[in-house]
């Protein structure tokens, strides 16, 4: 069984779209994403420096665009329903996953995330804040230390990683006095996402998202809130949940913790044997190697990884009729 997962903010790097633009048709697709986002994603993905693409308003549409460009290159015209058995995305990656599941079209996902990004950038500018990964240590002690420091557990990622978020001085204090056997690593993001610091962004995003064009998911899509799939969340619906519920959860996600640990637990419960992480890949497959031992994974970072991704699909996708390997 194949899971396609989509990375979140902080995974972007300068020039990451340059190799993708060498593929036929990719430049036209990226142009449509730029039009939807209202910004030049080709420039940001090829020549903009690290500080420029760290800007939330740039980073989020850039990451979603990168994931969807990679997806279309890998599938080469095949519909996702013929290939993907389940999908999920970390934080902003959940909008990419919504496109994988067919709840949003590709340009629609990029357009919607651009509104999210601008709202979150404005909220971050209004009250300086940040995020730091806390790696290692006893999970209960880590959560207690984050709370004692006056911070929020914005991402509970599993595999020995929790992301603390909040006031910059409090993050510095946590780094100076970390939990036992834990390291505190500042992340390249501009604000305390998935915490009450983003309430103004949630309100602004809700005004846009509520009326956004969306359709019911066409394959299993997991929610960052609790790892549950939308077919479980909306049992009265046909198939895989409703567009209304997807949009509502995307809005709530702006101030709610990302429970990637629970998403990984659901993947294990569903019997996933292969994980394909779309570009700019690496972080989620790294977490999976610790939390989902024995599950084969491929992280797509450039077009050089496309053939490995297709091979993973051929051997693990139940939707495509492949025999899932143990």
Catalytic residues: 91, 194
Residue with tokens 């804040």: 129
The span from the CA of 85 to the CA of 2, in Å, is 5
The span from the CA of 107 to the CA of 111, in Å, is 6
Query: Within the chain, what is the greatest distance between any pair of CA atoms?
Result: 53
- Whether 98 contacts 151, CB under 8 Å: no
The two tokens of residue 139 are 């999970």
- Whether 60 contacts 114, CB under 8 Å: yes
CA 119 to chain centre: 17
The span from the CA of 131 to the CA of 189, in Å, is 7
Sheet holding 274-277, edge to edge: 86-89, 2-6, 274-277, 296-299
The span from the CA of 282 to the CA of 272, in Å, is 18
Burial 89-110 (b: 16+ CB within 10 A, else e): bbbbbbbbbbbbbbbbbbbbbb
Of 81, 59, 64, the residue nearest 7 (C-alpha): 64
The span from the CA of 167 to the CA of 72, in Å, is 39
Q: Write the burial class of residue 173 (CB in 10 Å: 0-12 exposed, 13-18 middle, 19+ buried).
A: middle
């Amino acid at each position: 069984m194949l899971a396609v997962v989509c990375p979140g903010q902080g995974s972007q790097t300068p020039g990451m779209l340059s190799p993708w633009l060498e593929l036929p048709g990719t430049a036209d697709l990226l142009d449509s994403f730029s039009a939807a986002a209202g910004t030049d994603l080709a420039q940001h993905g090829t020549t903009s420096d690290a500080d420029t693409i760290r800007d939330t308003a740039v980073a989020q549409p850039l990451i979603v665009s990168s994931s969807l460009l990679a997806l279309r290159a890998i599938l080469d015209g095949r519909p996702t329903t013929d290939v993907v058995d389940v999908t999920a995305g970390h934080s902003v990656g959940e909008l990419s996953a919504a496109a994988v599941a067919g709840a949003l079209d590709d340009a629609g996902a990029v357009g919607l995330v651009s509104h999210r990004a601008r709202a979150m950038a404005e909220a971050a500018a209004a009250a300086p804040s940040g995020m730091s990964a806390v790696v290692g240590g006893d999970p209960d002690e880590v959560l207690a230390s984050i709370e004692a420091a006056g911070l929020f557990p914005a991402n509970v990622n599993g595999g020995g990683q929790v992301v603390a978020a909040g006031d910059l001085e409090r993050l510095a204090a946590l780094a100076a006095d970390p939990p036992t056997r834990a390291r505190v690593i500042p992340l390249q993001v501009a604000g305390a996402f998935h915490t009450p610091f983003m309430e103004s962004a949630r309100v602004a995003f809700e005004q846009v998202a509520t009326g956004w064009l969306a359709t019911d998911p066409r394959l299993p899509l997991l929610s960052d809130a609790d790892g549950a799939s939308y077919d479980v969340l909306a049992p009265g619906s046909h198939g895989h949940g409703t567009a209304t519920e997807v949009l509502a959860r995307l809005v709530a996600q702006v101030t709610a913790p990302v429970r990637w640990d629970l998403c990984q637990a659901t993947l294990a419960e569903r019997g996933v044997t292969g994980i394909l992480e779309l570009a700019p890949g690496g972080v989620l497959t790294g977490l999976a190697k610790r939390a989902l031992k024995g599950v084969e994974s491929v992280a797509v970072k450039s077009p050089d990884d496309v053939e490995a991704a297709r091979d993973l699909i051929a051997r693990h996708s139940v939707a495509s009729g492949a025999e899932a390997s143990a």
